[in-house]
Amino acid sequence: MPELPEVETVVRGLNAQAKGLTIKTIPHIAEHLMRRDEKLRTLVGETFVNFDRRGKYIIAELSSGRKLLIHLRMSGRILFINRSERRQKHDHFVSTFETGTEKLVFRDTRKFGVLEFLHENQHGGFQKLGIEATAVTANVLTHLLAATSRPIKALLLDQSALAGLGNIYADESLYLSKIHPLKPCNELEPEEIGNLAINIRKVLRAAVKKMGTTFDSYSGINGNPGEYSRYLCVYNREGTPCSRCGKTIVKIRAAGRGTHFCPSCQRLKPARGRKRSR
């Protein structure tokens, strides 16, 4: 699933190329998107005023004052391509503009992505988002960790705690901070918490600079892949040596997700009353 750096890259691309454009036609909207919001066809005549990001959501501000909420989910992509290109099987939303020769396409192989108008009484994950992960501080993180004994990896993936952080960058942040992903939140030391807050911001900034990470379907709006995969220290590197100590990177399940870490650099020390995790 695209995380904060990938979504931020898409938002910046949309502001550079689609901002100020007025929708002329909508040649195609898939039935599953219409079932979610039957008013999508009323986008004809709307002008994109601005694009913003909240967590992993894209928010398109429209000339009517309405806002369109977009969530890429597992495989969604927003592409700004030549109008002459043929529609592909998984192009579920297509719009043309009054000027120019491009069209905007929402391509989604798994059909989990969301396009819908944002309402004040919106329910679901959007209204429950926590602080932006790019703005997390040691004080904020201390408050979040103190109230729970959940594994730290589980909290980092909780969008109601930190918005935008996902599996890739949680693993990378924990590695840089030398924290085991299964360590209980309320057992982290103040120094560990401070380092983790710094490294979360550091990793996300670096990933945004490289336009995110591409393994499968993600790309920017022009189809360009993210370049951050070459800088990853642990994610998707199980079986390879740790660049810090030389030990083998391993993969386990944590918070229901594949989790990568170095068992030497990120040791889980047993606390009083708790058995050692393997």
The residue-averaged pLDDT of 21-41 equals: 97
CA distances 50 to 10, 80, 99, 126, 136, Å, are 13, 16, 17, 19, 25
Q: Respond yes or no: is residue 31 known to be catalytic.
A: no
Least confident of 6-15, 227-236, 267-276: 267-276
Asked if residue 272 has pLDDT above 80, the reply is no
Q: Which residues contact 186 (CB under 8 A, 6 or more apart)?
A: 145, 146, 147, 148, 149
Q: What are the tens digits of pLDDT across the range 127-176?
A: 899 999 999 999 999 999 998 999 999 999 999 999 999 999 999 999 99
- Cβ pair 136, 203 in contact under 8 A: no
Least confident of 10-14, 18-22, 123-127: 123-127
- Give the pLDDT band (50/70/90) at residue 276: very low
At 34, the amino acid letter reads M
Helices (H), 65-209: 138-146, 152-157, 167-176, 190-209
Q: Tell me which of 241 and 121 has the higher pLDDT.
A: 241
The residue-averaged pLDDT of 7-29 equals: 97
The confidence score (pLDDT) of residue 147 equals 85
Question: What domains are defined for the chain?
Answer: 4-128 (3.20.190.10), 131-261 (1.10.8.50)
- Give the pLDDT band (50/70/90) at residue 119: confident
Q: Respond yes or no: is residue 241 known to be catalytic.
A: no
The confidence score (pLDDT) of residue 277 equals 45
- Give the pLDDT band (50/70/90) at residue 125: confident
Asked if residue 186 has pLDDT above 70, the reply is yes
The catalytically annotated residue of 2, 151, 181, 184 is 2
- Cβ pair 23, 96 in contact under 8 A: yes
The catalytically annotated residue of 56, 77, 153, 183 is 56
The residue-averaged pLDDT of 232-256 equals: 97
- Cβ pair 2, 72 in contact under 8 A: yes
Q: Respond yes or no: is residue 3 known to be catalytic.
A: yes
The catalytically annotated residue of 201, 202, 257, 263 is 257
